[in-house]
Amino acid sequence: MIEIIDNGQCEPGLIYNGVVLHDGRDPMNEARFQTAELQASEADIILVFGVGLGYHLRALRERWPRSRITAYEPAPEIKEAFMARTDVLDFGPDRLNWLEDLDNLGWLVTREIVRGDAGQTVALISPGYKEAFPREADLFSQIISEARIWRAVIEKTAREKNPLFLANLLTNLPTVMKLPCLAGLSHRLTGWPGFIVGSGPSLEKNGHLLRRLEGRGLILAAGSAYRPLLDMGVRPDMVVILEAEDTSHFLGLGPASADVVLALASAAHPHHFQVQGFTLASFHLTRGASFLFGSPDHVPQGGTSGSAAFTLGLLLGLNPLVLLGQDQAFPYGRVHLPGTPGDVPLTPDMTAFSVRGSDGTAVNTHSGFIASLHWFAESINFLKKADPARVVLNASETGAHIPGVPDASLNQVIDALTRSSGGVPRLTDLLVHIAPPEPDQVRRRLDQTGEMIAKLSFIHRRAPDQAGPALAECRAVNPLLDEILFGLDKTASTSQTTTAFEEAEKTILAMLEALD
């Protein structure tokens, strides 16, 4: 029930179901006070839970007149009162945006906070709205908080790993030039079921059931899950490695097989390329590496080999895709299975967050898993629109619920599979027909990238005011250059920019030498 408090002496207040949303004594001053408490010097995007009669929007506009405001109002009758009593505020279509539901908020914060280049994002929930709509307000806050965590994990990973990835790519270049690229198998296995296996503790519960597949589907496993699967009597068809750090000794703990494809990210640690006994193939994590080697596709992932295996399953055309061992949480008090690369003890500095579990109860997770969890949710939501016929199920049976993915019993999923007289095609047989990268093409792209870097360096020295636009233009057309010059932005000093160009030129020359 909505009640407008109009005492005739100032702007009206607002009560909703007995909760005061705007104090009738001076609601505009109240809104200014609450807005002033926001700890932000600037705001690119402002997210508002509850518009009331518009006082908070006006106060926010006074403080940040150029910022975009996106507002969600949980009560339709309040929004109706707002529209009837409040001026349009002259925001314009690019300054005030309405959210119709909180699902749309998830898409917005993913686009703007996680993937976008927005600077400061400000969120406002007034005390009255927090009291009147506690569940919705908590969900609003959680969506924004988890998006910020995801962005922080992405930025931290990029800062720490990008130099290492480039160094590994340089070392691996001669070997990658001899390997078939998995992108060449795009949609070659359309319609076959795929089981995407991670090394979460839940794999101990149901992983042995994969022995019942009997050639009715393919198993794509994270490298950390390889040994546990062998111990269960399960041999995967593909083992996926993307780690920039050396985890190769874990692969040597079990018997290798030439029938198993060791799928190696081109920027993985070089020691993984020296593991014996497997059939080796490459894939590329970034657009820059795909551009260099002439691959039609790169493999987006959420920071884990399991998420890379999921994307490779999509690329191959597998359907349905069944996740297991993808806990994204630690309901058993462990992060991964014992004896795997990710098996580390939980410590107090692993900040725990609560998320919905596969059984509907709350389970604890940490910032890294939140990033991976949201990556899966975002990818699958996009998949529903881009390829509605593709089915994804989560048969981990324990751990976090992945939004948008039905939880399923692995036993029942396997029971429902149809048998084929010929059995699933062998990946190793298909890879025989995939040619390795073309050396002349790789050399030309390195030459082109080197020429761009040299020209940018010249512009930086002779016409520094034109360097920024020129760099942006080159980055847009050459993803390898973009990655080599990672971290170089308008805040860099003259000496930092000069050093970045010098190091980039050295990297290209070293790659050309490695190619020869």
**pLDDT band at 318; cut points 50, 70, 90:** very high
475 or 107, which is more confident? 475
At 237-273, the pLDDT tens digits run 999 999 888 988 888 666 778 899 999 999 999 999 9
Give the DSSP letter string of 216-285: SSEEEEEGGGHHHHHHTT---SEEEE--SS--HHHHTTS---TTSEEEEETTS-GGGGG--SSEEEEE-S
**pLDDT band at 115; cut points 50, 70, 90:** low
- Tokens of residue 156, six digits: 């931290």
**Three-state secondary-structure class, residue 442:** helix
**Cβ–Cβ < 8 Å for 313, 194:** yes
**Cβ–Cβ < 8 Å for 236, 203:** no
Distance from CA of residue 376 to its chain's centroid?
Answer: 7
**Three-state secondary-structure class, residue 490:** coil
Distance of CA 418 to CAs 207, 216, 220, 392, 421, Å? 20, 7, 19, 17, 10
Q: Is the pLDDT of residue 219 over 60?
A: yes
Ranges 103-117, 200-214, 215-229, 234-248: which has the least confidence = 103-117
**Cβ–Cβ < 8 Å for 220, 189:** no
**pLDDT band at 334; cut points 50, 70, 90:** confident
Average pLDDT of every residue of the chain: 86
**Percent over 70 (pLDDT), the chain:** 90
**Cβ–Cβ < 8 Å for 322, 408:** yes
Query: Comparing C-alpha atoms, which of 354, 355, 334, 356 is closest to residue 345?
Result: 334
Rounded-to-integer distance, Cα 107 and Cα 385, Å: 13
- For 368, residues 6+ apart whose C-beta sits below 8 A from its C-beta are 153, 303
Ranges 75-84, 115-124, 474-483: which has the least confidence = 115-124
**pLDDT band at 86; cut points 50, 70, 90:** low
Ranges 54-58, 294-298, 346-350, 495-499: which has the least confidence = 346-350
**pLDDT band at 150; cut points 50, 70, 90:** low
At 478-507, the pLDDT tens digits run 999 988 988 777 677 888 888 989 999 999
**Cβ–Cβ < 8 Å for 204, 228:** yes
What pLDDT was estimated at residue 346? 62
What letter would DSSP give residue 400? Answer: B
**Type of residue found at 344:** V
**Which value, in Å, is the radius of gyration of the alpha carbons in the chain?**
26
Q: Is the pLDDT of residue 292 over 90?
A: yes
- For 104, residues 6+ apart whose C-beta sits below 8 A from its C-beta are none
Rounded-to-integer distance, Cα 204 and Cα 224, Å: 13
First to last CA, the chain: 76
**Percent over 90 (pLDDT), the chain:** 42
At 170-190, the pLDDT tens digits run 999 999 999 999 999 999 999
**pLDDT band at 94; cut points 50, 70, 90:** low
Ranges 64-68, 137-141, 401-405: which has the least confidence = 64-68
**Type of residue found at 206:** N
**Three-state secondary-structure class, residue 491:** coil
Ranges 18-32, 100-114, 271-285, 409-423: which has the least confidence = 100-114
**pLDDT band at 84; cut points 50, 70, 90:** confident
Helices 439-462 & 467-477 angle (0-180, nearest 10): 170
Query: Comparing C-alpha atoms, which of 491, 470, 474 is closest to residue 482?
Result: 474
What pLDDT was estimated at residue 311? 94
416 or 110, which is more confident? 416
B/e letters for 183-217, b = 16+ CB within 10 Å, e = fewer, are: bbbeebbeebbbbbbbbbbbbbbbbebbeebeeeb
Query: Comparing C-alpha atoms, which of 394, 311, 340, 316 is closest to residue 230?
Result: 340
Ranges 8-12, 259-263, 339-343, 372-376: which has the least confidence = 339-343
- Tokens of residue 151, six digits: 């962005």
Segment 347-352 shows an average pLDDT of 58
CA dihedral 110, 113, 114, 118 (to 10 degrees): 130
Q: Which residue has the tokens 């507002």?
A: 71
Q: What pTM, to 2 d.p., does this model score?
A: 0.79
Highest mean pLDDT pick, 226-235, 343-352, 421-430: 226-235
Q: Is the pLDDT of residue 370 over 90?
A: no
Residues 368, 275, 216, CA angle at the centre, nearest 5°? 70
- Tokens of residue 452, six digits: 């761009």
Query: Comparing C-alpha atoms, which of 292, 312, 342, 308 is closest to residue 166?
Result: 292
**pLDDT band at 79; cut points 50, 70, 90:** confident
Distance of CA 465 to CAs 207, 462, 497, Å? 59, 9, 13
> Which residues lie across from 272 on neighbouring strands?
none
What pLDDT was estimated at residue 100? 79
